[in-house]
Structure 1
Amino acid sequence: MAMAVPKLRFAPPQILAIGYAVLVLLGTLLLRLPAANHTGQPLPLIDAFFTATSAVCVTGLVVVDTGTFFNAFGQTVIIVLIQIGGLGFMTMATLFALVFQRRLSLRDRLLLQEAMNQGSVEGIVRLIRRVIYYSLAIEAVGALLFAIRLAFDMPLGRALYFGIFHSVSFFNNAGFDIFGDFRSLTDYADDPVMNLVSVGLIVSGGLGFIVLSDLADYRHKKKLSMHSKVVLSTTGLLILFGAVIILLFEWGNPGTLGGMDWGGRLWGALLQSVTPRTAGINSVDLTQLHQATHFLLLILMFIGASPGSTGGGIKTTTFAVTIGAMIAMMRGHEDVVFFRQRLARERILKALTIILLALALVIGVAMLLSATEGHDFMVVLFETTSAFGTVGLSLGLTPELSTFGKIMIALTMFAGRVGLLTLVYALKPRKTSEKFRYPEGKIIIG
Structure 2
Amino acid sequence: MSVLALGLNHGSAPLDLRGRFAIPLEALGRSVQGLRHHLARAQPEVAILSTCNRTELYIGLPPSACPRHALELAEPAIEWLATQGAARPEDLRGHSYFLQGAEAARHAFRVAAGLDSMVLGEPQILGQMKVAVREADSAGALGTTLHQLFQRSFSVAKEVRSSTEIGAHAVSMAAAAVRLALQLFEDLHDTRVLFVGAGEMIDLVATHFAAQKPLQMAVANRSAERGRLLAARLGAQQVPLGDLGQRLHEFDIVISCTASSLPLIGVGSVERALKTRRRRPMLMLDLAVPRDIEPEVARLDDVFLYTVDDLARQVQTGGERRQAAVQQAEAIVSAGVDSFAQWLQQRASVPLIQALHRQTEDWRQAELTKARRALAKGTDVDAVMETLSAALTRKMLHGALSELHGSAGDAHQQWMASVQRLFLRGGA
After TM superposition, is the score higher than 0.5? no
User: TM-score if structure 1 supplies the norm length?
Assistant: 0.25
User: TM-score if structure 2 supplies the norm length?
Assistant: 0.26
Higher strand share: 2
